[in-house]
Amino acid sequence: MQPLSKIVIPVAGLGTRVLPASKVIPKEMLTVVDRPVIQYVVEEAVAAGFTHIILVTSDGKSAIEDHFDAHFELEVTLERKGKSQLIDSIRDIVPPEVTISSVRQHHPLGLGHAVLCAAPLIGAEAFAVSLPDVLLHHPDGDHALDLKSLVAAYEDGSALFMVEPVPRENVSSYGIVDCGGATADPGQTADIVGMVEKPKISEAPSNLSIIGRYILPARTLELLRETEPGAGGEIQLTDALQKLLQEAPVKAYSLKGKTYDCGDKLGFLRANVRFGLSHPELGTAFREIFEEFVHETR
Ligand code: G1P
């Protein structure tokens, strides 16, 4: 099997759930503690061994590409002031061996369509997809641990993606999988027998949601080309994967860490608290502030 090197990160979404914050600033550039959300997702991908990051962008998202580029003026100014630690924090956010490419999605036609926009850069290899709304947090501090395990568990020709249980009343916000009643312990995989995008509560086959980390065979791209618009009138990745199920194994990986949905205001606040409390430099001081607040509201 060819080593997995490419990961597609769709960043073309409008971010309507976090307006007005995302009116001018891409939602992926909003800050969790001390860095933009997209930096966590890219760092996770790099830590898991991906060397080619493909951003699927849209109008008004150039700040994302700039963030991963060199900032000459800032670097020179910091150098003059002898602020070497700050220089390190902005230089080489991705190591030199990692390539970041971008491709435009001209019309907001859904996640499946966004992935298809990256097809010319993916070629005929298996590839990963990582959704930037979702941050993964692991209590050990290695937040890339689940993505590393996903890569390790991947078998050529199949599809494998992360799932997590959600409260039954929330199933209509996610892709939901049917594992035929099988359950996978955290860190384990289970065979998927069906999946549906944003089902009604009464029609959901389970409460196991697709969380936005996938490894997919190149065949997915051909299936996406034939996929008609589905839920919300959009071309859905879940619908193409349901088709893939007829010809290849599709598996769910149950994650060990927890997800934080930064595409949603409350999820965003939760992410700031979680990553703030576990931040290596700010965590201790932030815990004191947080406990003060909790004490005040009692
Ligand atoms: C997308 C996927 C969905 C998945 C979700 C995870 O939906 O289509 O299957 O469960 O991401 O966040 P979106 O949130 O873009 O509507």
- CATH code at 66? 3.90.550.10
Domain hosting residue 23, numbered range: 6-297
Give the residue from 67, 63, 65, 64 showing the smallest Cα distance to 90. Answer: 67
In-domain check, residue 232: yes
Q: Is residue 145 part of a domain?
A: yes
Residues β-bridged to residue 176: 196, 209
Portion of the chain with pLDDT greater than 90, in percent: 81
Whether 76 is in a domain gets the answer: yes
pLDDT digits (tens, 9 = 90+) for 51-98: 999 999 999 899 999 999 888 888 889 889 888 888 888 887 889 899
Q: Whose CA is nearest to atom 11 of ligand 1?
A: 212
Q: Ligand 1: which of 28, 56, 105, 111 to mutate, most ligand atoms within 8 Å of CB?
A: 111
The pLDDT assigned to 91 comes to 83
How far apart are the C-alpha atoms of 147 and 142, rounded to whole Å? Answer: 10
Query: Are the CB atoms for 136 and 254 separated by under 8 Å?
Result: no
Res 185: pLDDT? 87
Residue nearest to atom 5 of ligand 1 (CA): 174
Give how far the C-alpha of residue 13 lies from the chain's centroid of Cα atoms, to the nearest Å. 13
Q: How far is CA 60 from the centre of its chain?
A: 20
240 inside domain:
yes
Residues of the chain with pLDDT under 50: none
Q: What DSSP designation does 248 have?
A: S
Does a structural domain hold residue 1? no
Atom of ligand 1 nearest to the CA of 133: 12
Q: Closest Cα partner for 112 from 252, 226, 15?
A: 226
Q: Is residue 280 part of a domain?
A: yes
Amino acid making up residue 52: H
DSSP alpha helices (H): ranges in the chain? Answer: 37-47, 62-67, 72-80, 84-90, 111-117, 119-122, 145-153, 219-225, 237-244, 265-277, 283-297
Count structural domains, the chain. Answer: 1
What pLDDT, on a 0 to 100 scale, did the predictor assign at position 155? 93
Ligand 1 pocket test, pick from 14, 210, 250, 255 with the greatest ligand atom count within 8 Å of Cβ, gives 210
Distance 198 CA to ligand 1 centre (A): 8
Q: Among all chains, which residue has been given the structure tokens 């619908």?
A: 239
Answer whether residue 36 is part of any domain.
yes
pTM as predicted? 0.94
pLDDT, tens digit, 9 for 90 and up, residues 142-160: 999 999 999 999 999 999 9
**Does 105 map to a domain?**
yes
